[in-house]
């Protein structure tokens, strides 16, 4: 079972599963966080690789989950579905709690009853909050999330451990560090900046441009998800990042270079919930599951801009 399989990461991972000969059941509700047509286009791309079962619905719908788990037997579950985004969570904290936390609990309970052997859950680097120690290690305290979104992701890690402890379920939680690449959500910085710079419109830059992010290319994330599933025994948390950082100003300059256009900067104050840096220590994932990211920012932005131009002209 693959939740959120029509989204950015989910559609790429579905392709991987189909290429490897697996049968895939996708659960996705095509919510209006961004244009649902984008997700349907994602699945059109996936269908070029192979066939899958698509179930449209909400993971908080108890009756729907009952029907799904009564009709299908799963040997693994990869749970990528969530309400995403730090800033929107400030405005809709109850929605984020219901979907991200309650939805995850309902899935885990059905997985417990069915005896699913391996479960991978998407977490987020946002759980580290304003962590002053860099790079961020899975052993660092993460008790001070600074957005409802981050708090829900930490809550999911906690409830996952509880299910592991009580029912000996094999669960791995993955802290993704700013994933980018073809099909990236349109609200994410790289996609948004590329679109606006290409159109000659101002890009909103929050703060002085010195904030740093550990951006992770989609193919590296997909490799990490698969390796996590292959090694899913007990309970584990892994950082999946590139373990390299780039400032916001450097990122904009790189996109300018690849597009061949200059950005118009709309300077704005730092936003509540934003963190000054994300930086992954990936030594645990390297040692325990063989995670080894390959794509640096220059290569990744080249690939993204190439995809963007193809989509923009199609």
SS3 103: helix
Residue 147 CA to residue 275 CA, distance in Å, equals 10
Q: Which two tokens stand for residue 53?
A: 């079962």
* 13 among known catalytic residues: no
CB-based contact 172:232 (threshold 8 Å): yes
CB-based contact 127:146 (threshold 8 Å): no
Residue 134 CA to residue 280 CA, distance in Å, equals 8
Q: Please pick, among 13, 96, 149, 180, the residue that the annotation labels catalytic.
A: 149
CB-based contact 117:73 (threshold 8 Å): no
Residue 149 CA to residue 154 CA, distance in Å, equals 9
DSSP letter for each residue of 280-305: B--HHHHHHH-------HHHHHHHHH
Residue 86 CA to residue 108 CA, distance in Å, equals 24
**Cα dist from 116 to 38, 75, 175, 298, whole Å:** 31, 5, 22, 40
Which residues are catalytic, by number?
149
């Amino acid at each position: 079972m693959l939740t959120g399989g029509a989204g950015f990461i989910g559609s790429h991972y579905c392709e991987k599963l189909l290429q490897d000969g697996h049968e895939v059941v996708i659960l996705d509700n095509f919510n209006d966080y961004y244009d649902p047509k984008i997700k349907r286009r994602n699945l059109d791309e996936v269908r070029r690789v192979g066939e899958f079962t698509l179930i449209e619905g909400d993971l908080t719908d108890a009756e729907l989950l009952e029907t799904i788990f009564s009709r299908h037997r799963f040997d693994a579950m990869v749970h990528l579905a969530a309400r995403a985004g730090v800033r929107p969570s400030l405005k809709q904290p109850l929605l984020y709690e219901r979907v991200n936390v309650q939805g995850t609990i309902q899935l885990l309970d059905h997985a417990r009853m069915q005896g699913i052997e391996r479960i991978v859950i998407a977490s987020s680097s946002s759980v580290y909050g304003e962590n002053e120690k860099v790079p961020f290690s899975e052993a660092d305290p993460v008790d001070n999330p600074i957005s409802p979104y981050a708090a829900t992701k930490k809550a999911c890690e906690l409830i996952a451990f509880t299910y592991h402890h009580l029912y000996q379920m094999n669960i791995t939680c993955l802290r993704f560090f700013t994933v980018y690449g073809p099909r990236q959500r349109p609200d994410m910085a790289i996609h948004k900046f590329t679109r606006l710079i290409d159109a000659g419109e101002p890009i909103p830059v929050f703060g002085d441009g010195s904030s740093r992010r550990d951006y992770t290319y989609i193919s590296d994330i997909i490799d990490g998800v698969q390796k996590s599933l292959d090694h899913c025994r007990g309970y584990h948390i892994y950082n999946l990042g590139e373990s390299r950082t780039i400032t916001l100003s450097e990122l904009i300059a790189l996109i300018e270079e690849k597009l061949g256009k200059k950005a118009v900067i709309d300077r704005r104050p730092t936003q509540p919930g934003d963190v000054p840096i994300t930086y992954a220590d990936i030594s645990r994932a390297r040692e325990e599951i063989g995670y080894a990211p390959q794509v640096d920012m220059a290569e990744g932005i080249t690939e993204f801009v190439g995809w963007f131009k193809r989509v923009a002209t199609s």
